[in-house]
Amino acid sequence: MGAIITLTSDFGLTDAYTAAMKGVILRINPDVYLIDISHTINAQDISSAAFILSTVYRYFPNNTIHLVVVDPGVGTERRAIALKTPDAYFVAPDNGVLSYILQDYECEKGRLSAGLEAVQLTNKKHWLIPVSNTFHGRDIFAPVAAHLSLGVPFAEFGDNIDIISVLPAQKPRIGSGIVTGNIIYIDHFGNLITNIGKDLITGRSTDMTVKIGNREIKGLSRNYSGGQELLALIGSSGRLEIALREGSASQYLGAHIGDEVSLYEALYNEGLKHIQGGNRQ
Amino acid sequence: MGAIITLTSDFGLTDAYTAAMKGVILRINPDVYLIDISHTINAQDISSAAFILSTVYRYFPNNTIHLVVVDPGVGTERRAIALKTPDAYFVAPDNGVLSYILQDYECEKGRLSAGLEAVQLTNKKHWLIPVSNTFHGRDIFAPVAAHLSLGVPFAEFGDNIDIISVLPAQKPRIGSGIVTGNIIYIDHFGNLITNIGKDLITGRSTDMTVKIGNREIKGLSRNYSGGQELLALIGSSGRLEIALREGSASQYLGAHIGDEVSLYEALYNEGLKHIQGGNRQ
Amino acid sequence: MGAIITLTSDFGLTDAYTAAMKGVILRINPDVYLIDISHTINAQDISSAAFILSTVYRYFPNNTIHLVVVDPGVGTERRAIALKTPDAYFVAPDNGVLSYILQDYECEKGRLSAGLEAVQLTNKKHWLIPVSNTFHGRDIFAPVAAHLSLGVPFAEFGDNIDIISVLPAQKPRIGSGIVTGNIIYIDHFGNLITNIGKDLITGRSTDMTVKIGNREIKGLSRNYSGGQELLALIGSSGRLEIALREGSASQYLGAHIGDEVSLYEALYNEGLKHIQGGNRQ
């Protein structure tokens, strides 16, 4: 089996936009293996696309090519780019959709760290000509990914760049005995996924308290069948999650992306102590 | 082309959970053929997953591996299992999702009939380590299916078991001239599919009467374009179905899974005769 | 890699109807490459299926086989057919779903133009027997596509035919300085796609005015990020489209398939001049 190209977009499932990209790719490389990641990302929701991509690229074979087309700026001056990491290739508009990937490689403010390479896609030789103004997924990104899968050298696709656009940083704030983060993604089950990674969570999980709005969750559960209705746990992406047993935490709490979630290292009985910081009882 | 692995889940289409499983599989066996059966089963709806799987596995090439992850009990004591039949392999949580498959092989109360083999998945050698508590699809079921597709002997995955969990039996009740069953699945077109199989339907189809709620349907139709608005027919899965011509029977009747459907071998004009049993007029 | 078969249907994503077709195909030709075009076409919406198919078939490798099952008349006297063009094969019910394909090859009223061939599927040797009355996708169309992908000669599938059913023509009306067409498709982003092709659009795009309902859009934009909220442009399928910047034109305008859209070659300030025809100011 040849190379793998994954596809992520906000094209939905009914229109033929995704199939058009696949057709274009197969015309160039009929031996490629095509895998859909998601095409039902909310229209133009760059942030969710960035998160979804970040949770999955590590599980694919090395040198898999990830094609991402959530592209509200198609036809404008936004750049089309490709990124090469030691693990994978990414072909995408330069609009922040690779933010979490760059975070994984410890890039600061989009500046490529050692071992990463990127190009702006400018070499029309690898495009589908004539290029439309509204569907670069089909006319630029797909043919570039296909040629890349055939072994065209990375540097041939355009000029080297060393900074890539990233979304406004959403890092958790760390205080004394308290970490405050935000919901960055809500999945299909209504689980609330935060930007608080497991590396920030130390101590005994039974001592933790998670706070969202005016609700407190005492202790971290091991799975979604825990003893409490509303529970907090380290989810499969390695981040703090809030879930409702056999239900949707998102609906139950009326929670949204961006909402604040705090993690305390011990139980508090009085609201006042929250203000005083992380004194253990 | 190598082995085929099909995937069935309640993961929905937006999140990357299904893609993560595919990545894991392709890392282990890059030559496998991946086919999606359904990922939009209602969250934790084991019964619908069981039905969907049962209607389709027979159409795949022999020894296809069917991976099913509708797994509300992930991370608890529920077993992870694999089942081998003369036709196919199944890798799934032991929660009833294989009930209709076992029915096809005439297993009584989940006890394996001759020719079937099953193991509890306990051999961590074939898992993705470390195993999360919340996503065994990615960490246990997918890698097991992938290794199975590479030819790892079935017995290597764990200890033999001879009983598998099944859903509470929903067999139709057979009386004199009457069969009473239930709706077990409602499809995308709103067709109501019952547990009354075509083997239970004898006699001339024009003599039949189907009753649901207070509606009577006289005669079985051959297809969805029959002469009546509301019609009954033997559907493509070989079961009695109720359909609405160019519409949704489910919406029209307000019908639900579990609702009772009766089949009489002749027309009745008076309610009283229903009680008296199946006397032909 | 072997032949490619694409699949288009109104089966939705939850039921296993599409997977059953894939299983049947893989039993016959395990080396075929299966690509989904769309399965979420509205139930029995032949017109949208026809449009979707027409926008995508050109992008696939030559001789790709396109399997289309939007088939409200399944089990009735409607014919099952296959069409061969210089570019591709199509296997479908004869209900109008190939209308736009035939338009591309300049067929008049469904009469095949030079270079096209079609057969009525009558040779049961290439079917899955017994054929159900309700699922010809699985029992006739899928096995025919699979055998075609194996190289079975086209003429073997049935008797030659020279006329295929087409949808009632929806061609734009051309006046002096004005073209009047209709919305023929609304995509997932809410973009309104008309039957006015770019070949009908001449002159400077800044001079154009597009009218829908009582709204006028002055000038054509190059992309979806144009200067105006509501904009008109030549979309990626080469047709006049109406779009809303970062929103859904369909929702914003309350527009429907069939609604009239007019294109004037110059700006008009007074309603009266519309009637007088295309005098430039």
Summarize pLDDT for A64-119 with one digit per residue, the tens.
Answer: 999 999 998 887 889 999 999 999 999 999 999 999 999 999 999 999 999 999 99
How distant is the Cα of A44 from the closest Cα of chain B, in angstroms?
14
How distant is the Cα of C62 from the closest Cα of chain B, in angstroms?
22
pLDDT value for A226 = 65
CA distance linking residue A171 with residue B38, whole number of Å: 36
Q: pLDDT by residue (tens digit) across A227-264?
A: 568 999 999 989 999 999 888 999 999 999 999 999 99
* Portion of chain C with pLDDT greater than 90, in percent: 74
Q: Mean pLDDT throughout B117-134?
A: 95
Q: Would residue C253 be called left, alpha or beta, if left means φ above 0 and alpha means ψ between -120 and 50 degrees? A: alpha
Chain A residues whose CB is inside 8 A of the B76 CB are: 223, 225
CA dihedral A10, A16, A21, A22 (to 10 degrees): 110
Nearest CA in chain B to C43: B189
Q: Do B233 and C134 touch (CB under 8 A)?
A: yes
pLDDT value for A76 = 80
CA distance linking residue A3 with residue A149, whole number of Å: 6
Q: Do C13 and B39 touch (CB under 8 A)?
A: yes
CA atoms within 13 A on the CB side of B199: 3
Chain C residues whose CB is inside 8 A of the A78 CB are: none
Residue A93 in tokens: 């508009």
Residues for chain C: how many in total?
A: 281
pTM assigned to the model: 0.91
CA dihedral B56, B61, B67, B68 (to 10 degrees): 10
CB of B49 closer than 8 Å to CB of B8: yes
CB of B252 closer than 8 Å to CB of B213: no
For residue B228, pLDDT over 90 is answered with no
User: Looking at A26-85, which runs of residues are DSSP E strands?
Assistant: 33-38, 64-69, 80-84
Q: Do A76 and C33 touch (CB under 8 A)?
A: no
pLDDT value for B183 = 95
Identity of the highest mean pLDDT range in A95-104, A269-278, C67-76, C164-173: A95-104
Here the ipTM equals 0.89
Q: Do A38 and B16 touch (CB under 8 A)?
A: yes
**Among all chains, which residue has been given the structure tokens 């399965």?**
C39
For residue C277, pLDDT over 60 is answered with no
Tell me which residues of chain C, numbers 28 to 57, contact chain A at a CB-CB cutoff of 8 Å: 33, 35-41, 52-53, 55-57
Residue C272 in tokens: 């009266």
**Among all chains, which residue has been given the structure tokens 């779009």?**
C243
Nearest CB neighbour to C188, from listed A15, A24, A73:
A15
CA atoms within 13 A on the CB side of C19: 25
Short-list A192, A212, A229, CA closest to A264: A212
For residue B275, pLDDT over 50 is answered with no
pLDDT value for A279 = 37
* Portion of chain B with pLDDT greater than 70, in percent: 93
Q: pLDDT by residue (tens digit) across C253-264?
A: 999 999 999 999
pLDDT value for B184 = 93
Chains meeting B at 3+ CB pairs closer than 8 A? A, C
Residue B135 in tokens: 């996503």
CB of B90 closer than 8 Å to CB of B117: no
Which residues make beta-bridge pairs with B41?
none
For residue C231, pLDDT over 70 is answered with yes
pLDDT value for C270 = 42
The one-letter amino acid code at B95 reads N
Query: Is C20's Cβ below 8 Å from some Cβ in A?
Result: no
Q: pLDDT by residue (tens digit) across B232-260?
A: 999 998 999 999 988 899 999 999 999 99
For residue C223, pLDDT over 90 is answered with no
Which residues, in sequence order, are CB contacts of A25 under 8 Å at separation 6+? A5, A32, A34, A142, A143, A145, A146, A149
Nearest CA in chain A to B12: A188
Cα Rg, chain C, nearest whole Å: 21
pLDDT value for B226 = 65
**Among all chains, which residue has been given the structure tokens 């809030």?**
A242
More confident residue, B208 or C212: C212
Tell me which residues of chain C, numbers 64 to 83, contact chain B at a CB-CB cutoff of 8 Å: 72-76
How distant is the Cα of C14 from the closest Cα of chain B, in angstroms?
5
Short-list C64, C31, C35, A152, CA closest to B31: C31
Query: Is C150's Cβ below 8 Å from some Cβ in B?
Result: no
pLDDT band at B205 (very low <50, low <70, confident <90, very high): confident
Q: Do C15 and B233 touch (CB under 8 A)?
A: no
Which residues make beta-bridge pairs with C183?
C194
Q: Mean pLDDT throughout B159-168?
A: 95
Query: Is B63's Cβ below 8 Å from some Cβ in C?
Result: no
Question: What SS3 class is residue A204?
Answer: coil
For residue B35, pLDDT over 50 is answered with yes
Query: Is A132's Cβ below 8 Å from some Cβ in C?
Result: yes
pLDDT value for B271 = 46
Chains meeting A at 3+ CB pairs closer than 8 A? B, C
